[in-house]
Structure 1
Amino acid sequence: MDKVNILGVHVDMVNISQATDCIMRFLDEDKFHAVYTPNSEIIMLAYKDEKFCKLLNNADLLTADGIGVVHASKILKKPISERAAGYDIARQVLQKMNYTDHKLFLFGGKPGVAEEAKKKLLEEYTDLNIVGTRNGYFKLEEEAEIVEEINNSGADIVFVCLGAPKQEQWIERNRDALKVRVAMGIGGSLDVFAGKVERAPEIFCKTGMEWFYRLCKEPWRIGRMMELPKFAATVIAKGKKYKQD
């Protein structure tokens, strides 16, 4: 797949459907795959942290979860056609899994959220095979137990919803121990699946204004939102020094 180098992070130039098809192919391969969906805030973190940047680039699939990343790709003359958010990709993966024998494990969120997400997803996808759930509150010494629980479930894919960068770091630390074929970091998606958080209306998502909707609903995000102009300025000032293949 073609990639665009955004401040050192090699983002795959795929849309939602292409990313979904790629993950479904991963599920048919007998090996582990890591899937991350960085937004501009995550890429800025990687820009400042070489170790985290290498971690992201060690993934099998990186998609542009954020309109800022899409705009950055255009500035760098390698435009990504659309924002491929983790939630939207996960939705399409669930639709396709509903007609297969693949098994899903839900990991993350506050106590009770993963179970509620499972309940609501099974109401929508009646043939979906969800083989386990686990909340995202744990101590480092409990990781081996969590990995064993996931492995014993027989899951082919695990949605890891711990928020960035914790979820990517968790996947990287445990990739050699996990027996799943896909581990996908998708942030707060479990809260949306469970009905705890409302997704922005489609018009906001399609016009790249989801950030504005979320800011109106959650004003405390203003500090995090200030990373967006910093990201844009950094791409304009520094982005072209990164070699494009």
Structure 2
Amino acid sequence: MPRVEILGLPVDLVSLEQAVERIGEMLESPGTHQVITLNPEYVVRAQGDPQLVQAARESELVTADGVGIVWAVRQLTKQQLPERVTGADLVPALLERFGPRLRVFFLGARPGVAQKAAENTMARWGIQVVGVQDGYFKDEAPVIEAIAQARPDLLLVGMGERQDLFIHRNKARLGARVAIGIGGMLDVLSGEVRRVHPLFQRLGLEWLVRIAGDRKRWGRFPRLIQFVRLVRAAKRAHG
């Protein structure tokens, strides 16, 4: 599986179908495998956080979550990604492909959201729910213990900026086959939030629509601008 590097972080050159196939192999392999859906904000944060860099480098799969990463790969490596592979597309594709055979643990979001996401997911795809926990906890130990005892095939973690480091830090103790940081996808699965019109999804502008419609997300713009600046600076530096 070809892997390139942008601004010190890896990106796997995979399509959605290839990502699903790769995760299918992970589900059959021992140990816990981490999947990161890389977005521009992660890249910007990682410039000042070695732990984020290490988490990405040690992940078994890093997909391009959004057009920004696709653009950066083209600018900095001359490689062409088959397509972007967002968490919003990858999670439903996994649930659709593996369905009733999947034992899933839902972790994150506000109280009640993960439970509703689990119920909706079970009703739609027939998965087995082996655990639910909201993201509002202070002590990690009981949460990690609950996950380890459940031994899920798939651990879905929706804890925003905390999620990927939580998985990486506790990887050896989670007991899950595959752990994915899925951002706000628990809200979507629960029905609390709807995905934007398919046209904006195809154009890769779902993130922009969500930011424009939610003032709480407006703070993301400076990081997106910084990402563009970093890519352009790196391109100039390497000719």
* TM-score (norm. length: structure 2): 0.94
Q: Which amino acid aligns with 1:137?
A: Y
Q: Which amino acid aligns with 2:178?
A: V
Q: Which amino acid aligns with 2:196?
A: A
1:159 to 156, 170, 195: 156
In structure 2, the CA distance between the partners of 1:79 and 1:48, relative to structure 1 (3 Å rule), is: farther
Aligned-pair CA distance for 1:44: 1.1
Alignment partner of 1:82: what SS? coil
Where does structure 1 lack aligned partners over 5 or more consecutive residues?
A: none
Q: Which residue number corresponds to residue 147 of structure 2?
A: 150
Q: Which amino acid aligns with 1:143?
A: E
Structure 1 CA distance, aligned partners of 2:89 and 2:235? 27
Structure 2 CA distance, aligned partners of 1:72 and 1:200? 24
Structure 2 CA distance, aligned partners of 1:178 and 1:241? 41
Aligned-pair CA distance for 1:229: 2.5
Structure 1 CA distance, aligned partners of 2:90 and 2:10? 19
Deviations 1:144-189 (A, max 9, x none): 211111122231210011112x111111121111111111111111
Aligned length: 237
What is the root-mean-square deviation of aligned Cα atoms in Å?
1.6
Percentage of identical aligned residues = 35
Deviations 1:32-61 (A, max 9, x none): 101111101111111222232122111111
Instruction: Write 1 or 2 for the structure with the bigger share of helix.
Output: 2
CA contact (8 A) 1:111 1:136 kept: yes
Aligned-pair CA distance for 1:216: 2.6
Q: Which amino acid aligns with 2:219?
A: G
CA contact (8 A) 1:6 1:239 kept: no
Q: Which residue number corresponds to residue 135 of structure 2?
A: 136
Matched, 1:33 2:33: yes
Q: Which residue number corresponds to residue 84 of structure 2?
A: 83
Q: Which residue number corresponds to residue 224 of structure 1?
A: 220
Stretch moving more, 210-219 or 2-11: 210-219
* TM-score (norm. length: structure 1): 0.91
Structure 2 CA distance, aligned partners of 1:22 and 1:75? 26
Alignment partner of 1:11: what SS? strand
Q: Which amino acid aligns with 1:175?
A: K
Where does structure 2 lack aligned partners over 5 or more consecutive residues?
A: none
Structure 1 CA distance, aligned partners of 2:148 and 2:172? 12
Deviations 1:99-146 (A, max 9, x none): 5x2311111111101111111112211x2111111111111xx21211
Structure 1 CA distance, aligned partners of 2:232 and 2:143? 42
Aligned-pair CA distance for 1:239: 4.5
In structure 2, the CA distance between the partners of 1:115 and 1:47, relative to structure 1 (3 Å rule), is: same
Structure 2 CA distance, aligned partners of 1:154 and 1:50? 29
Structure 2 CA distance, aligned partners of 1:212 and 1:51? 28
Deviations 1:2-41 (A, max 9, x none): 1121100011111211111111110000121011111011
